[in-house]
């Protein structure tokens, strides 16, 4: 969940900032793109704020780091973080932003340098939110505080949950959600999500609706055909087990839950060759919006829900196998 809230937070911030700035700030670019790998150190990426990860790299000079960020490296750093639409200056600003974090982390700040979430949070000092100029404080503080001031009422620093979004702030109605224009009459005619979700099974992420259960228990009955409410999907019950190296449980990819919503042609052959094991899938690719990440993390449940995909305990005695049972 920590990963989830960090990324949500950084994205929330960057989504806000983007429209007004012609050139995105380093923090924006970091939050929108680099953080997916560098916040937690996915695939061996040097972690944000972790001086140990960065110092040997910094030794080679900032120029070299710019080069790696712009052109990519063979060891997994994609050119421009995988987003060629960034200008060189934006990518360099993101590198500067990441380097600044290691420099401030070297100074004694009250937060553990390992934890970027904590770093970004406002210190429990209500004054910060009013941006009182402070000498020698970590620079990220005021911005983060500004963002947080909206999420957490100022003065509520000792509230039980400081960062977990309170129930009332989730799934806001359109006029308050930050993207609909409240000055537009139509906005007020739109349905608030919570009204629609009232009778639906809950989940902990995304829309906070368990869509699989909702359709399985017929709480909702989305049409398979645009015009014919009676047409039924061809549901295929075929699980594909993908063995995962390391300690994470294996991934079970279920055709059933997917073919309840999707057409074979949505995945085959553009995203996946229909052959077990024929596709190289990795978390890095998923986080970049490829493979499973084409849908998961955008429309289907987000990547923070590790257990939904990594659902098969490692069975060391037998090799993993596809439990193929084709029903109707």
For another protein, give the closer residue by CB, 266 or 321. 266
Q: What does the H/E/C string look like for 10-60?
A: HHHHHHHHHHHCCCCCHHHHHHHHHHHHHCCCHHHCCCCCCHHHHHHHHCC
Binding residues among 84-113 for another protein as defined by CB under 8 A? 84-85, 93, 96-97, 100
Q: What is the DSSP string of 75-107?
A: TS--GGGG-TTS-HHHHHHHHHHHHHHHHHHHS
- Binding residue for another protein (CB under 8 A) from 46, 81, 116, 254? 81
Q: Which range, of 14-22, 130-138, 161-169, 305-313, touches ligand HEC by CB under 6 A?
A: 305-313
Dihedral angle sign, alpha carbons of residues 179, 220, 256, 231: negative
- Among positions 171-190, residues that touch another protein (CB under 8 A) are 171-172, 174, 176-181, 184-187, 189-190
String of contacts with ligand HEC for each residue 87-126, x by CB under 6 A:
----x--xx-------------------------------
Q: How far is the CB of 102 from ligand HEC (least distance, A)?
A: 11
Structure tokens at 266: 């949505």
Tell me if 244 contacts ligand HEC by CB under 6 A: yes
Taking CB under 6 A as the rule, does residue 262 contact ligand HEC? yes
Rounded-to-integer distance, Cα 92 and Cα 69, Å: 8
Q: What is the token pair recorded at 235?
A: 């549901």
* Dihedral sign, Cα of residue 112, residue 115, residue 116, residue 119: negative
Contacts of residue 28, Cβ cutoff 8 Å, sequence gap at least 6: 13, 14, 17, 18, 21
- Least Å distance, CB 2 to another protein, is 13
Write the interaction track for ligand HEC spanning residues 163-192; mark x where CB under 6 A is met and - where it is not. Answer: ---------------------------xx-
> Of 140, 240, 241, 251, which lies in the binding site for another protein, with binding defined by CB under 8 A?
140
Q: Which does 161 bind (CB under 5 to 8 A by kind): another protein, ligand HEC, none?
A: none
**Whether 56 contacts 126, CB under 8 Å:** no
Question: Taking CB under 6 A as the rule, does residue 49 contact ligand HEC?
Answer: no
- 64's enclosing H/E stretch is helix 62-71
Range 139-168, binding ligand HEC (CB under 6 A): none
Q: Quick one: what does residue 187 bind among ligand HEC, another protein, none, with the CB cut-off 5 to 8 Å set by partner type?
A: another protein
Least distance in Å: CB of 52 to ligand HEC?
A: 13
Using CB under 6 A, which of 6, 9, 13, 69 touches ligand HEC? 69
Cα dihedral angle (83, 87, 93, 99), rounded to 10 degrees?
50
Q: Which is nearer to another protein, 66 or 320 (CB)?
A: 66
> Burial letters for 147-177: b for 16+ Cβ neighbours within 10 Å, e otherwise?
bbeeebeeeeeeeeeebeeeeeeebeebeee
- Can residue 214 be called a binding residue for ligand HEC (CB under 6 A)? no
Cβ contacts of residue 66 below 8 Å, gap of 6+? 91, 92, 95
At closest approach, how far in Å is the CB of 179 from ligand HEC? 12
Output 47 or 296, the one with its CB closest to another protein: 296
Query: Should residue 265 be labelled a site residue for another protein when binding is judged by CB under 8 A?
Result: yes
Contacted by 151, from ligand HEC, another protein, none: CB < 5 to 8 Å by type? another protein
Backbone torsions φ then ψ of 253, nearest 5 degrees = -95, 115
Q: Please check whether residue 215 is in contact with residue 222, taking contact to mean a CB–CB distance below 8 angstroms.
A: yes
> Among another protein, ligand HEC, none, what binds residue 29 when CB lies within 5 to 8 Å by partner kind?
ligand HEC
């Amino acid at each position: 969940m920590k990963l989830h809230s960090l990324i949500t937070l950084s994205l929330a911030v960057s989504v806000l900032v983007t429209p007004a700035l012609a050139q995105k700030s380093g923090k924006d670019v970091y939050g929108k793109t680099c953080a997916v790998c560098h916040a937690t150190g996915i695939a061996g990426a040097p972690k944000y704020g972790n001086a140990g990860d960065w110092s040997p790299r910094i030794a080679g000079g900032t120029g070299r780091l710019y080069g790696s960020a712009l052109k990519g490296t063979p060891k997994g750093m994609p050119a421009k973080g995988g987003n060629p639409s960034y200008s060189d200056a934006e990518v360099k600003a993101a590198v500067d932003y990441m380097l600044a974090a290691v420099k401030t982390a070297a100074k004694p700040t009250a937060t553990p340098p390992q934890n970027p979430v904590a770093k970004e949070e406002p210190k429990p000092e209500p004054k910060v939110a009013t941006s009182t100029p402070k000498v020698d404080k970590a620079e990220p503080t005021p911005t983060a505080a500004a963002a947080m001031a909206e999420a957490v009422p100022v003065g509520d620093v000792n509230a039980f949950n400081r960062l977990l979004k309170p129930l009332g702030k989730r799934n806001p109605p359109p006029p308050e959600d930050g993207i609909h224009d409240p000055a537009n009459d139509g906005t007020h005619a739109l349905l608030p999500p919570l009204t629609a979700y009232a009778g639906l099974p809950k989940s902990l992420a995304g829309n906070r609706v368990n869509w699989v259960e909702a359709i399985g228990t017929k709480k909702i009955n989305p049409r398979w055909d645009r015009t014919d409410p009676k047409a039924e999907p061809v549901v295929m019950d075929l699980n594909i087990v993908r063995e995962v190296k390391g300690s994470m449980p294996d991934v079970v990819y279920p055709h059933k839950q997917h073919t309840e919503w999707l057409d074979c042609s949505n995945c085959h052959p553009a995203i996946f060759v229909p052959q077990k094991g024929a596709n190289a899938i990795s978390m890095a690719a998923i986080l970049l919006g490829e493979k499973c990440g084409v849908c998961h993390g955008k429309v289907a449940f987000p990547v923070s829900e590790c257990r939904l995909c990594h659902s098969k305990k490692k069975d060391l005695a037998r090799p993993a196998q596809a439990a193929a049972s084709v029903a109707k």
